[in-house]
Amino acid sequence: MSERRLGDPISPDAFVRPDADDERDHWDRMMAGDLYLAGASERIAAANSRAMAVVERFNATPAADGPSRTALLRELLGTCGEDVEVRAPLFVDYGDNLHIGDGTFVNFGLTALDVAPIRIGSHCQIATNVQLLAATHPLDPALRKAGWESGEPITIGDNVWLGGGVIVCPGVTIGDNTVVGAGAVVTKDLPANVIAVGNPARVLRGL
């Protein structure tokens, strides 16, 4: 198959079967960060259904019932450290790919599209309505129309503070101790020990 460039003419059947010579289940393709079809894998469907069921139970559990909420988090997430607090509602795709370190606080309304690993470090502060979006789609219109998607990991270091409404895009790493101002859209990696603001997020100053 010849390589296309963005803007080249597209034939109706172009690039709609990038798995033609790939016998892996689409779950394995997803976990490898390759293009996959979510509707073509029973493993993907089962993992999503499991996550939706646990999330519904978590979001319906009273805040006063801390032990039950913690148990549900440990059932849902790939890793859940000690002294983690997550306030409902929480929204994930699979849960297995979301990892939260010790002492991290997650306020209301976290959305984590964890089609690739999302790692939140220890002692982080995640404000309301933060979106961690590891999911992405092809720029090629034919691939996108055919339903192909992929994911890129997100890594958030220790002691990071994400302000309200922050959006972290696929493939981004945020270094230790960094503060991201409310409403920022983080499209590229941020180093440790800085304050970043804006859309797209830019480093304002060091700490």
126 Cβ neighbours under 8 A, 6+ residues apart: 104, 105, 106, 107, 110, 120, 162
Question: CB of 61 within 8 A of CB of 174?
Answer: no
Longest dimension (CA), the chain: 59
Check 26, 99, 123, 137 and give the catalytic one.
137
The closest of 91, 100, 117 to 171, measured between CA atoms, is 117
CA distance 68 to 85: 12
DSSP one-letter code for 149: B
User: Is 137 noted as a catalytic residue in this protein?
Assistant: yes
Ordered DSSP codes for 79-119: EE-TT-EEPSPEEES-STTEEE-TT-EE-TTEEEE-SS-EE
The closest of 154, 147, 146 to 180, measured between CA atoms, is 154
151 Cβ neighbours under 8 A, 6+ residues apart: 30, 33, 113, 115, 116, 134, 135, 136, 170
- Residues marked as catalytic: 137
